[in-house]
Amino acid sequence: MKATCSFVLWALILFGISSPIKSQSNPIAFKGAHIIPISGSPIDNGVLVVQNGEIVSVGDSNTKIPSNADIVDVTGKVIMPGLVDTHSHIGEGDGGDRSSSLHPDVRILDAIDPRSDTFKKALAGGLTSVNVMPGSGHLMSGQTVYLKLRKANTVEEMLLVIDEENNIYGGMKMANGTNPIGNGAPPRPGTRAKSAAMVRELFVKAQNYQQKIVAAEGDESKLPPRDLQMEALVQILEGKRTVHNHTHRHDDILTAIRLSQEFGYKVVLHHVSEAWKVADEIAAAGVPASIITLDSFGGKLEAIDFSNKNAVALEKAGVMVGFHTDDYITDSRMFLRSAAMGVREGMSREKALEAVTIANAKMMDIDDRVGTLEKGKDADFIILTGDPFSVYSHVEQTWIEGLKVWDRDNPEDREYSTGGYEIFRGFETNHHLDGE
Amino acid sequence: MIMKLFKTTILGLISIFCISTASAQIAVKAEKLYTSAGDPIINGVVLIKNGKIDRVGAQSSVRIPSDYEVFEAAVVTPGLIDAHTVVGLAGHYNQPHDQDQLETSSAIQPELRAIDAYNAREELVGHLRSLGVTTVHTGHGPGALISGQTMIVKTRGNTVDEGVLVPAKMLAFTMGDMMNSNIKKPGTRSKGVAMLRENLIKAQAYLEKRNSDNPAVKDLGMDALADLLEGKLTAMVTVHRANDIMTTIRLQEEFGFPMVIDGAAEAYLILDEIKESGHPVFVHAPMLRATGESKNASMETAAKLQGAGIPFAFQSGFEGYVPKTRVVLFEAAIAVANGLNHDVAIEKLTIDAAKLLGIDKQVGSLEKGKDADLVLYNGDPFEYITNVTHVFIDGTLAN
């Protein structure tokens, strides 16, 4: 009797647990597509095999397909890595409030709504990894969060943890230029020079905190009291956390670089509207640029010299360049269009493809897991109906870690691809216009 | 008498000769020539003489005179027409000094004229021109019940007078919850409609008096509304929600003025009703941000309007931030990617927009005698990576 019970128990456990695992663990082979692995030349009539959420193999039609694999015929389609967005405001999060201009302790992950429709819109555009950031109304508006757009009920299920030991889930958002500048009334700075001074003062404080930790030599009694702001800043000083710096005007771009060099932190320049004026200086600093595509210049005074030629200017200067959506400034569903418009202005096709995949993964230090289709990397990929840079191509399917998370053929998903039918609810904010 | 006639003729001939030698005559060859007056012509050519289109046909049948300057392109279309924008009144700085598309001192100001505020040298006008837009219907924007008048202008010239085609074309209305926050009234939808009805009823009385032997004291606002009631102006009503579109149609039925439904994010919910009303649509930009009143905007609306047989044209609309303007060439491309027929889209951007704006005798297609407004492309006009290589306006290279 006892033996029977435990047999039933085991059967239940096996049935209950092993069947969902089996559906993920069974290899899936996608055959016949034009595969753009980014890590190498495009492959006609290629094969992509994924298993257990990872890429098992990528290659031509001779690639070995496991005998137990589910085979998906994708003849005529195009497969490329899931898109990586370095700068987005999806998820309906927030950031620092008006009590200060510097909020290194504030985490946007504590404010993300994993059920937000905006994630569906991003999946419709083929995005799989996203740096979700607080706004630009502060010198430092808070910690950003890197998300995998997995089907999730909690934000924890979406985290792209980059440092488990130190609980680092993203970078730090900083901004200079006019957005963080107020009317001179504290806590906001009134000028650009004051902005830089406030940032320097904070990092000097962090250096002092760091020295106390070093001096304690592991002796807990000698450690300074915990300080959430200082802890995050020390992570930046130690190179564990990247600064994502909103910046537009050419001189502000150079100020962002100057500060990063003074304190030796890793910085990614964001927007960089006047990059074409200082492309060589950016290249000399070895700093990557995450840029935006817009259908016209104008609308924002400090960025009126914006040009879609930034991409080609930066590429020619030798700068690592990526595109971002800044959703809702540009629509996540149009992310491939951003790169295509770079090609329109003279960027190479190869660099434009990298600029929505591996370059962005590098800027977020997640390039060991995403950004290319290579054996061992996460099985994040998109299936397109054609050339990624054609207006007529659609994202047909989006896969994350071997699971299909988006299918344009599914009517419910499709509505998010095209819009309409009251599908977009609740997302009515614009961080740029909130008076912040 | 005969001598005088002879002299006049000679002078006339001399002046014609001078004009024709002063401006070089131009031939534009295209691997694919969209004329918007029939099927595309493979290996076509357009001859331009004195700023007008002189001949259009296959290269095999049209001889290019030896002294013509020849331009070549993969694709050529007529100049594109933006059926509704605010550029020229709205500038790229986006500062109070260059934002003249909306006056917030009052909710109803039909007397405001677009020609008094249009800046022909505004860089956004040049931006649209560089992307093939040769004619814009521009003027007062959404945000007030009646924000003012619109005009039709070519995207060329140093002054408004050089480019203007129609100095006063439409009155810009806004319905629904899209009033600028600086305008105190109306506070609700129904109050807005009540205010419009009240003014239109006043205008009916004014018009009656204007047409009588004893006209009333001239009132600029009433004059404009009377022009609307007489059909000399058209109402362009920016409205997105389905119920507000129906209210707009109800208002029009009460007063009988000519009308265009503008924006129309939820048009796909009431296609039959719009079709029955007979009003054309200036459809919102397919890439319009889905937010607020337009949160149900769909990239498929243009295709659905076409499927329902509702006349429509593309617009760039109004943008309050970045990008400061959209571009109809880019917007139509997204409509094509979402179900609208490719060649139909080119007609929507050219001859169909011209018809809805009443300028189709002069622009909108490549036909003998029309203005030589042409756009040259190095590939499919709608592809992301295609560039506009040249733009001609009135036979002159404008970009």
> Which amino acid, A138?
H
pLDDT digits 0-9 by tens, A145-171: 999 999 999 999 999 988 889 989 999
Alpha carbon dihedral A298, A300, A302, A307, in 10-degree steps, equals: -40
Residues 6+ apart with CB under 8 A from A377: A54, A55, A368, A369, A370, A371
Q: Which pLDDT score is estimated for A182?
A: 79
A250, A279 in Cβ contact below 8 A?
no
pLDDT of A32 higher than 60: yes
Is B322–A299 a contact, with Cβ atoms under 8 angstroms apart? yes
Is B291–A341 a contact, with Cβ atoms under 8 angstroms apart? no
Q: Which residue of A has its CA nearest to B267?
A: A420
Cα–Cα distance, B351 to B356 (Å, whole number): 9
Cα–Cα distance, A232 to B64 (Å, whole number): 72
pLDDT of A22 higher than 50: no
pLDDT digits 0-9 by tens, A118-129: 999 999 999 999
Average pLDDT over residues A375-380: 98
pLDDT of A184 higher than 90: no
ipTM of the predicted assembly exceeds 0.95 = no
Handedness of CA B42, B43, B48, B51 (dihedral sign): positive
Q: At what angle do helices A250-263 and A192-216 cross, to 10 degrees?
A: 20
Q: Name the E strands within A272-402.
A: 289-291, 321-323, 381-384, 395-400
DSSP, residue by residue, B213-259: SSPPPP-HHHHHHHHHHTTSSEEEEEE-SHHHHHHHHHHHHHH---E
A405, A398 in Cβ contact below 8 A?
yes
Percentage, residues of chain A above pLDDT 70: 91
Residues 6+ apart with CB under 8 A from A284: none
Chain A residues within an 8 Å CB radius of B240: none
Handedness of CA A10, A16, A22, A24 (dihedral sign): negative
Q: Which pLDDT score is estimated for A424?
A: 53
B170, B137 in Cβ contact below 8 A?
yes
Strand order in the sheet with B52-58: B52-58, B41-49, B26-33, B69-78, B374-377, B388-393, B396-397
Which site among A89, A92, A121, A296 would you substitute to test the B interface, given the most B Cβ atoms closer than 10 Å to its Cβ? A296
Is A391–B298 a contact, with Cβ atoms under 8 angstroms apart? no
B295, A428 in Cβ contact below 8 A?
yes
Q: What share of chain A is helix, strand, coil (3-state, %, to 5)?
A: 35, 20, 45
The candidate with the shortest Cα–Cα distance to B296, out of B239, B250, B341, is B239
pLDDT digits 0-9 by tens, A317-372: 999 999 999 998 999 999 999 999 999 999 999 999 999 999 999 999 999 999 99
pLDDT digits 0-9 by tens, B273-319: 999 999 999 999 999 998 888 989 999 999 999 999 999 999 999 99
By CB atoms closer than 10 A (0-12, 13-18, 19+), residue A226 is: exposed
Pairing of strands A395-400, B133-139: unpaired
Q: Which residue of A has its CA nearest to B287?
A: A331
Half-sphere exposure of A71 (CA within 13 A, CB side): 12
Is B290–A424 a contact, with Cβ atoms under 8 angstroms apart? yes
Q: Which pLDDT score is estimated for B7?
A: 52
Q: Which pLDDT score is estimated for B24?
A: 72
Q: Which pLDDT score is estimated for B316?
A: 98
pLDDT digits 0-9 by tens, A217-261: 999 999 999 999 999 999 999 999 999 999 999 999 999 999 999
pLDDT digits 0-9 by tens, A253-286: 999 999 999 999 999 999 999 999 999 999 999 9
Cα Rg for chain B, rounded, in angstroms? 22
Residues of chain B whose beta carbon is less than 8 angstroms from a beta carbon of chain A are: 91-95, 123-124, 127, 268, 287, 289-292, 295-301, 319-327, 330, 333-334, 336-338, 382-387
**Please, which pLDDT band fits residue A423 given cuts at 50, 70 and 90?**
low
Backbone torsions φ then ψ of B389, nearest 5 degrees: -95, -35
DSSP, residue by residue, B362-393: TSSS--TTSB--EEEESS-TTSTT--EEEEEE
**Residue B87, min C-alpha distance to chain A (Å):** 11
Cα–Cα distance, A420 to A431 (Å, whole number): 23
Q: Which pLDDT score is estimated for A17?
A: 41
Is A433–B292 a contact, with Cβ atoms under 8 angstroms apart? no
Chain B residues within an 8 Å CB radius of A343: 384-385
Q: Which two tokens stand for residue B35?
A: 């004329």
pLDDT of A185 higher than 90: no
Residues of chain A whose beta carbon is less than 8 angstroms from a beta carbon of chain B are: 294-301, 303-304, 306, 328-329, 331, 334, 337, 340-341, 343-344, 389-392, 394, 418-425, 427-428, 430, 432-433
B314 membership: H or E segment, kind and range:
strand B312-314
**Between B135 and A415, the higher pLDDT residue:** B135
Q: What share of chain B is helix, strand, coil (3-state, %, to 5)?
A: 35, 25, 40
Chain A residues within an 8 Å CB radius of B291: 328, 424, 427-428, 430
Q: Which pLDDT score is estimated for B17?
A: 43
Q: Which pLDDT score is estimated for A167?
A: 87
Is B92–A297 a contact, with Cβ atoms under 8 angstroms apart? yes
Cα–Cα distance, B85 to B78 (Å, whole number): 19
Is B321–A300 a contact, with Cβ atoms under 8 angstroms apart? yes
The candidate with the shortest Cα–Cα distance to B225, out of B190, B251, B263, is B251
Q: Which two tokens stand for residue B199?
A: 């003014």
Q: Which residue of B has its CA nearest to A121?
A: B290
SS (H, E, C) A209-273: HHHHHHHHCCCHHHCCCCCHHHHHHHHHHCCCCCEEEEECCHHHHHHHHHHHHHHCCCEEEEECC
Q: Which residues share a beta bridge with B234? A: B170
pLDDT digits 0-9 by tens, A71-104: 999 999 999 999 999 999 999 999 999 999 999 9
CA B269 → CA A420, B243, B264, B275, distances in Å? 10, 10, 10, 12
A271, A326 in Cβ contact below 8 A?
yes
Length of chain B in terms of residues written: 399
Q: Which pLDDT score is estimated for A162?
A: 83
Is B325–A430 a contact, with Cβ atoms under 8 angstroms apart? no
Half-sphere exposure of B47 (CA within 13 A, CB side): 16
Q: Which pLDDT score is estimated for A16?
A: 40
Quickly count: other Cβ atoms within 10 Å of residue B159's Cβ: 11
Handedness of CA B60, B63, B64, B67 (dihedral sign): positive
A72, A28 in Cβ contact below 8 A?
yes
Which site among B127, B384, B387 would you substitute to test the A interface, given the most A Cβ atoms closer than 10 Å to its Cβ? B384
Tokens 């409030």, located at residue: A97
Backbone torsions φ then ψ of B173, nearest 5 degrees: -105, 155
Which site among B180, B318, B385 would you substitute to test the A interface, given the most A Cβ atoms closer than 10 Å to its Cβ? B385
pLDDT of A23 higher than 50: no
Handedness of CA B125, B127, B128, B134 (dihedral sign): positive
**Residue A390, min C-alpha distance to chain B (Å):** 6
Cα Rg for chain A, rounded, in angstroms? 23
CA B229 to chain centre: 22
A126, A83 in Cβ contact below 8 A?
yes
At A107, is the secondary structure helix, strand, or coil? strand
Largest CA-CA distance found in chain A, in angstroms, rounded: 82
pLDDT of A18 higher than 50: no
Q: Which pLDDT score is estimated for A24?
A: 60
Q: Which residues share a beta bridge with B29? A: B45, B72
Chain A residues within an 8 Å CB radius of B123: 297-298
Q: Which residue of A has its CA nearest to B269?
A: A421
Cα–Cα distance, B127 to B120 (Å, whole number): 12
Q: pLDDT under 50 in chain B at which residues?
A: 1, 11-22
Cα–Cα distance, B338 to B148 (Å, whole number): 34
Chain B residues within an 8 Å CB radius of A294: 322-323
Chain A residues within an 8 Å CB radius of B322: 294, 296, 298-300, 303, 306, 329
